[in-house]
Structure 1
């Protein structure tokens, strides 16, 4: 079973870019339990800096440091039956550890 981590980037003009990363779930942890653990690891239960946790930044327009920021928003999790698409083949529990340390 795989878990899809859905997130978005909201730029200074409130334009949104959506993305997702699919992780292996080798321990078969339920989506509900994983979502609770993810929210507990995030800033205010919602925000994280993508570059610090190893998921792609979602901004598509040129980044303007005076207006934009590095924070991304967690949107939710879902079950998937496809192969993971994260380049370093992390399991969701490893990603959770990265969120706890660097989110």
Structure 2
């Protein structure tokens, strides 16, 4: 079965100061049917060094496993990739709104 182009999976991770990683994803509505490659190019323009972002600014929930009070906490998250999916959206924003939320 082919994945639906009207939904994209945004995959990201958090790496703490000891290099422990936690991975997550958010399913985004893609009503304009933007390809994962084009979505990546649009998002990378908004990221720090094309891969890092502050999750609070982009309204992405923090991972519970990495608390801010840890001596090894870093507040940057890393963008991994976009991919097509058939999953139900987990974020109410459209892809364009989602990408816009990464602006400073």
Deviations 1:24-71 (A, max 9, x none): 001111111111111111000000011110111125043336431210
Q: Residue in 1 aligned with 2:35?
A: 30
Structure 1 segments of 4+ aligned residues over 6 angstroms from their partners: none
The 8 Å contact of residues 7 and 20 in structure 1, kept in 2 or not, is answered as yes
Can you give the 5+ residue segments of structure 2 that lack an aligned partner in the other structure?
Answer: 1-5
Q: TM-score by structure 1 length?
A: 0.88
Q: TM-score by structure 2 length?
A: 0.87
The alignment covers a number of residue pairs equal to 99
> Which structure shows the bigger proportion of residues in helix conformation?
1
- For residues 15 and 76 of structure 1, the distance between their equivalents in structure 2, rounded to whole angstroms, comes to 19
The 8 Å contact of residues 17 and 59 in structure 1, kept in 2 or not, is answered as no
- For residues 79 and 41 of structure 1, the distance between their equivalents in structure 2, rounded to whole angstroms, comes to 21
CA RMSD of aligned residues (A): 1.4
Distance 1:59 1:44, change over 3 A: farther
